[in-house]
Amino acid sequence: MPNAVLTLHPAFTVGPVRRRTFGSFVEHMGRCVYEGIYQPDHPSADEDGFRTDVLEMIRELGISTVRYPGGNFVSGYRWEDGVGPREERPRRLDLAWHSVETNEFGLDEFMRWAKKADVEPMMAVNLGTRGVQEACDLLEYANLDSGTHFADARIANGSAEPYNVRMWCLGNEMDGPWQIGHKTPEQYARLASETGRAMRMIDPDLELVACGSSGPEMETFGTWERAVLTEAYDQVDYVSLHAYYQERDGDLGSFLASGVHMDRFIADVVAHCDHVRSVRRKEKRIMLSFDEWNVWYQTRFDTSGPPSEWVTAPPIAEDDYTVADAVVVGGLLISLLRNSDRVTAASQAQLVNVLGLIRTEPGDGPAWRQTIFHPFALTSAHARGQVLDVGLDAPRYDTAKYGEVPLVDAVATHDPETGALAVFVVNRDTEQPVTLDLDLRAFEGPLGEGRLRVLHGDGDPHVVNDALDPDRVLPAEGPAVRPVDGRAGVTLPPVSWSVLTFPGR
């Protein structure tokens, strides 16, 4: 049986656990909004039309922020369409997802929903078909108290208090030729800089996110970041990253190592940001917002041609997630935590139905937790305090995509105030269990009895949860872990994600 050794020391830290790491994403795409979070005719709907069964699961997830309203959708969106009396709101073609947008759910509804879900809103502005003025109008509507046209319009629409949104995305994936209003690096850099400058004239304390490359495979990767930050460095606080992963051609070994790609992508973007910082002699460091990430089987997804008919909220990208997908999602969360010195915000895409942590049946059907729900919820619940810079000695294996990679990946967090310790770990071995030995001798005083929870497929990494069997895949309780002389050991099943928690004082 392969063996790995994990050495932990409370003095060796990466940075604090960022609560914004546990953000998600709601886009007007498919059934994410309509029949996802909002369905007035559903038996669970509250007085605002929000599905309370979905709300309860969102609170269970421990979601911190939600990015809205897109995504590709935002690049053709007129935010004014979604406010005011519903009967007066126009129906529009959504070119991004080949559907009809009714605008029944808009900005004010989202803000009410965000308050009920206890999440921080993260807004995106349209820099595809619109620009500086429209972004400022939206900011005025959202954040100003009263006494101006748009602030008073919000009050007239029933929201007396401003929404005080702090974090704003300056467009979405503007480097992508699929994007409405796609721009060259120089065109976007100028527009983002001028939009950010004008928005800060209204509210200087905003946190602004510039579009980075949509992925490292883009032809403009690197040159895009350099052009955008050279122009807009003083106006922005973050650069965005987007990445999606899927198992291809039965290559499970490479798929399970997706976190290796995420780590490399992050390192490259940090290098580009710091290059501009050095050249321009700036004190400020640009942080990273990994505001789209997940497993997405894009090979099953095609919107390349015009639709046969324009309909509202068609089912799009409703992937059924397997155990292997959940292990990868848990591994990607390990990567995000490991890079918490620079990745200070992230948004899993998306929250419901579309690549969803949560799925709902059409009509009056139930909601259920997909396999990927569980590593997200448990990581959000137990990652506290400081992310530790761990020492991991693990066997390695060859992958077709990433070369030789560790068989085990892990990260740990430690709360110095309570003494609580959490270890998150994946076993990428497709056939064998792995023993993990933990060296905990650096922690003062004996650690209490540890609790182990393991998510695996019991021999089948491709089983899923569905409406008929929503709890087929659940984290299983492992044996109690009792450290002896500062050491402990656990056994990790093949293709598994685990969390080991030791209570604090």
Query: What are the b/e assignments for 104-138, b being 16+ CB within 10 Å?
Result: bbbbbbbbebbebbebbbbbbbbbbebbbebbbbb
Return the residue matching tokens 């935010």: 79
Q: How far apart are CA 99 and CA 115, in angstroms?
A: 28
Q: What is the three-class DSSP state of 199?
A: helix
Q: How far apart are CA 114 and CA 107, in angstroms?
A: 10
| Catalytic site includes residue 477 | no
CB of 152 closer than 8 Å to CB of 161: no
CA within 13 Å, CB half, 411: 26
241 φ, ψ (degrees, to nearest 5): -130, 145
CA nearest to 34, candidates 287, 312, 221, 443: 312
Structure tokens, 140: 């005025």
CA nearest to 228, candidates 270, 264, 258, 272: 272
Structure tokens, 420: 């609580």
Q: How far apart are CA 145 and CA 137, in angstroms?
A: 14
Q: How many residues does the chain have?
A: 505
CB of 388 closer than 8 Å to CB of 6: no
Q: How far apart are CA 503 and CA 505, in angstroms?
A: 7
CB of 286 closer than 8 Å to CB of 342: no
Structure tokens, 192: 């983002």
Tell me the sheet residues that pair with 16: 386
Tell me the sheet residues that pair with 15: 387
CA nearest to 390, candidates 430, 438, 323, 459: 438
* 176 Cβ contact partners less than 8 Å away, ≥ 6 residues apart: 182, 214, 218
Catalytic residue, candidates 101, 109, 173, 247: 173
| Catalytic site includes residue 173 | yes
Catalytic residue, candidates 27, 35, 101, 292: 292
With helix as H, strand as E and coil as C, how does 415-477 read? CCCCCCEEEEEEECCCCCCEEEEEECCCCCCCCCCEEEEEECCCCCCCCECCCCCCCCCCCEE
How many CB atoms sit inside 10 A of residue 281's CB?
6
| Residues assigned a catalytic role | 173, 292
